[in-house]
Structures are given as C-alpha cells and as structure tokens.
Structure 1
Amino acid sequence: MLSAGVIAWIGAVFLAAGFVKGVVGMGLPTVAMGLLAVTMPPAQAAALLLIPSLVTNLWQLFIGPSFGGLCKRLWTMMAGVVLGTVTGAGLLTGAHTGIASVGLGAALVLYAILGLLKLGFTTPARHEALMSPLVGVATGLVTGATGVFVIPAVPYLQSLRLGREDLIQALGLSFTVSTAALALGLFKAGALASPTTQLAGSVLALLPALAGMFAGQALRQAMSAETFRKVFFAGLLMLGVYLVVETAL
C-alpha cells in the first residue's frame, strides 16, 4: 500500500512529465522513469507508465490537423519502424544496452546543439521515398537496443520541415507505432513475463499526465515558431544529457 506522500509524488511526477510532452511532443517516459526511480523499483514505475504513455501518444496522434496526410506520407517509415523494432527487440535485454544508451544520448546532444545553432539539414521531397523506410528501420533497431524512440526519427522528421503541429502529430504517430512494435518484439523474443500490473494505479496516473499535457499544449500553441524551435531542441538536449548521465552513474 502506497503512502499518501508517495501517491502525491506520483501525481506530481506525471503532471510534470505530461507538461514536458505537451510542450515538445516527447519525454513523458524518460522524465517519469527518472523521477519515479527515487521512490520505487523500475518495474513498478514501468507498470504505472503503461496507460499514461499509451493514451498521451494516441491523443497526440489524433488531435492534430493532418492525420490522414501524415499516414500517407510516412507509412513506409512506420513499416520500417515495425520491422526494425521487432527484429532488434531482443537487444534491449542484451549486455550492451548501456553502451547503446550512451551513444544515443551523445547523438541527441550533438543534434540538439546543431539545431540550436541553426545548422540543421533538409531532406528534399524527391529523396523521401528512399529515406523514409531506411530511417524507419534504423529507428527500430535503435529502439530495440535502448527502448527510446528518438534517433534517427526525430532529426529526419525535423528535416522534412513540417509545420509545428504536423511535427508534433508525426512524433505521436512514430511513438505510438514504436511502442506497439516494441511490445510485440519483446513478446516474440520471450523477454516479457506476464505478472499482474498495477493497471488501477496506471489509470489514476493518467489523470495528472493528461492535465500536464493539456497545460503544455496550451503553452506550445501560445509560442512563436522561433520560441518553439528553441524549446524543442533544448528538450532534446536535456533528454540526451539525461541518457548519458543515467547510464554513467
């Protein structure tokens, strides 16, 4: 039985994690896992994350203005994500996961710094047919090794010069597909046990997560495009630093 203090802490954690996701379109699992680890084992934290992560990803996916258009444009990338994740899911339980996480964090830091310095790149439309499935497979393999769905999907989506809301919706599509594919891949690899999870606690954690996400979305919509760009890359920078530091400690 959790104490009132722990329950209050869980609510505050999911409120903060939802706010981060609402502003930059990502980061809920990373923020929540890092903060919840102070008071509970990782397995218990992961059980609490189940419903908030799924629902906020689906919400982010469906509320944007271009769901059908993005699915049509990015379906080969999503197919690649599924293929790469299911193929590489067993890597998540391997001996080199820590090294992969450090490498991913370093790549995020570098990409965020380049973005803040406005040194990004653009993918021409004529190259999308070739690049999308390759990026999808690469993202899936990285997901299989680290459990994080960011590289190279986020830089690639950013390079397509999508509008702010289209980018957020495209991230929601990528994260939703990646989450489902990772669960499928881990099940296929025999890496998922079947203990009873704390679904009731996870459902309750959804409430502050959604509240935080709504607040973050309101802030994002009030931002100028330039402010959003800075906040977006700053969020990636902090995520990258977090991955490196967490693995090193």
Structure 2
Amino acid sequence: MIPAAFDLADALLVSAIFALGGLVKGVAGFGLPTVGLGLLALSRPLPEAMALMLLPTVATNVWQALAGGALRAALRRLRWFLLAAAAGTLVAAGNISKADAEVLSALLGALLVVSSSSALLGPRWPVPSPRRELWLSPVMGGISGALAGLTGSFITPAAPWLAALRLPPDVFVQGFGLGAVVATACLAVALAGQGLLPPGLGLASVAVVAPTFLGMATGRGLRRRLPETRFRQVVQCCLLALGAYLVARNLG
C-alpha cells in the first residue's frame, strides 16, 4: 500500500529533489522525470515516485509542447509515434500494481544506464528513410510508452529516435514535450485505475510543482553562464552512476 502522508523531513527531501530536477531541466532542457525518479526511487517504491512525478512532469512539458510555433508541424510529423506511445503506456502501466516494486526500480536503473551510456558514448542514430520512418515511428513510440508505463521515464528510445529524424529544433522540442505529456497522462489514468493515486499523493504532486518551476527558473539563469555541453555530460555521468546503483541495490 502506498503511504499518502509525508512528515516534514520527507516533504523537504522531496521538494529538494524536484527543485534539482527542475534546475537540470532549466539548464539542459531535459531530465526532470529522469533525475527525479532516480533519486525518489532511492527512498520510496517506484509507483509512489511515479505518482509524485505526474503533475510536475505534465506542467513543465505542456509548457514545452505549447511554447513556440511548431505544434501543428510536430503533431503532423509525429502523430503515429504519439498514438503508439499512448497505447504502449496504457498497456504497460495497466498491470503495474501486480509488478514487483524492486524489479521496477531495477528496470529504471537499467534504463538510466542505457540512456546515459548512449548519450555519452553512442553514435547518433542514422537518419531513417521516409519508408522506414513510416513503420519505425510507431514502433519506437510504443517501446518508449511501454518503458514509461513501467518506469515513469519517457526518454529511451524516444529521445535518440527523435534526434535521428533530424527535426527542426522547435519541432524536436515540442514533439518531445508532446510525447512526455501523452505518456504521463496515460500513466496517470492507469495509476488512478489501480488505486495507486490516492488523494494524499495527488496533493503532494501539486505541492512540488512550485519547487520544480523554481528550479527551472534558476536553471535558465545558469544556462547563460555554464557550458551546456559539459553540464549535460556531468548530468549523464551522475545518472549513469545512479542507474548502476539502483540495479545493484534491487537485484543484488
């Protein structure tokens, strides 16, 4: 059963984690769910961490999806990717209440290791031909959604796939934001349907929106003074270490 109440120490720790995740997203443009879930999973069951992450993720990614003038282009180019992501999330998250929480945490850790290693060491994916994109896009959307449904993290293979499409920057940013919103909304529906979204966690998710946006505002200010490439590398190295620890702790 998921606890619905937090003491002061819990509230301060969770707020700090969301502020840190927001700061990373503000500087690097990504990382709120990835950083937040990885850190939250150190001290609480992953389904609870996923429930806490819902509203901040939706709020920040709705802004990301709607900002700019490329929304229509993103929807037109990525519609099958987004539909498949929604279906994959609903199917995978539909039975999350029956899954072992330690296995889910280990899966999140493995996902962090794979995504960070790919970002640090892996070559860019080749550009698919239009014919391959037509059938690969829903496949990648479905896989990304399924992993989001099990771990709460919509990053792999979504991010490298969208990068491989060589989308214009505005389309990439808004398209990734749309994917995250779709996956998170479907995750919320699945969690609520299984009784994994009690009122206490819903209120806590509302409360951490403020520190998340505070962290993002701080991160946007730091972006002008920090070398973004080096910052991304540091974040990926930290996520790699965190992912390896989650795997070792939950499967050791």
TM-score, length-scaled by structure 2: 0.75
Distance 1:203 1:74, change over 3 A: same
SS of the residue corresponding to residue 142 of structure 1 reads helix
Q: Give the superposition deviation at 1:178.
A: 0.3
The residue type equivalent to 1:84 in the other structure is G
Helix, strand or coil at the partner of 1:150: coil
Matched, 1:157 2:178: no
Which deviations, in whole Å up to 9, do the C-alpha atoms of 1:31-89 show, x marking residues without a partner? 33554567777777655444322211212222245222212111110000112222222
Q: Which residue of 1 aligns with 2:210?
A: 207
- What is the deviation of 1:5? 5.2
Question: What is the SS of the residue equivalent to 1:197?
Answer: helix
Of 241, 248, 251, which aligns to 1:248? 251
Report matched runs for 1:40-189 at 5 Å.
48-95=52-99, 98-99=102-103, 102=106, 105-106=109-110, 108-117=112-121, 119-126=123-130, 127-162=132-167, 166-187=171-192
- Report the CA distance between 1:15 and its aligned residue: 1.3
Q: Closer, same or farther in 2 for the Cα pair 1:37/1:160, shift >3 Å?
A: closer
For residues 41 and 109 of structure 2, the distance between their equivalents in structure 1, rounded to whole angstroms, comes to: 19
Q: TM-score, normalised by structure 1?
A: 0.76
**Does residue 1:14 correspond to 2:26, yes or no?**
no
Cα shift at 1:166 = 4.5
Structure 1: segments with no counterpart, 5+ residues: none
- What SS does the corresponding residue of 2:126 show, helix, strand or coil? coil
On the 8 A contact 1:81/1:136 being kept in 2, the answer is yes
Distance 1:182 1:86 in 2: 7
Partner SS state of residue 200, structure 2: coil
Q: Name stretches of at least 5 consecutive residues in structure 2 with no aligned partner.
A: none
Counterpart residue identity of residue 188, structure 2:
A
Q: 2:25–2:32: 8 Å Cα contact kept in structure 1? A: yes
Contact 1:158 1:167 in 2 (8 A): yes
RMSD (CA atoms): 3.6
Given the superposition, is the C-alpha separation of residues 47 and 151 from structure 1 closer, same or farther in structure 2, using an over 3 Å criterion? Answer: closer
1:91, 1:97 within 8 Å by CA — same for their partners in 2?
no
1:210 shift after superposition:
0.1
- For residue 108 of structure 1, report the CA deviation from its aligned partner: 4.5
Change (3 A) 1:60 1:246: farther
Q: For 2:107 and 2:183, how far apart are their aligned partners in 1?
A: 19
Q: Aligned partner of 1:77: which letter?
A: F
CA distance in structure 2 between the aligned counterparts of 1:54 and 1:238, rounded to whole angstroms:
27
Alpha-carbon distance change, 19 to 248 in structure 1, aligned in 2, over 3 angstroms: farther
Letter in 2 for 1:156: W
| Equivalent residue pairs, number | 247
Partner deviation per Cα, 1:132-190 (whole Å, 9 max, x = no partner): 11111122222333333222212212222345554443322111100112223445xx4
Distance 1:5 1:228, change over 3 A: closer
1:248 partner amino acid = L
Equivalent AA in structure 1 for residue 157 of structure 2: P
**What secondary structure, in the 3-state scheme, does the structure 1 residue paired with 2:72 have?**
helix
Of all paired residues, the percent bearing the same amino acid is 36
* Residues 219 and 8 (structure 1), Cα distance of their counterparts in 2 relative to 1, 3 Å cut: same
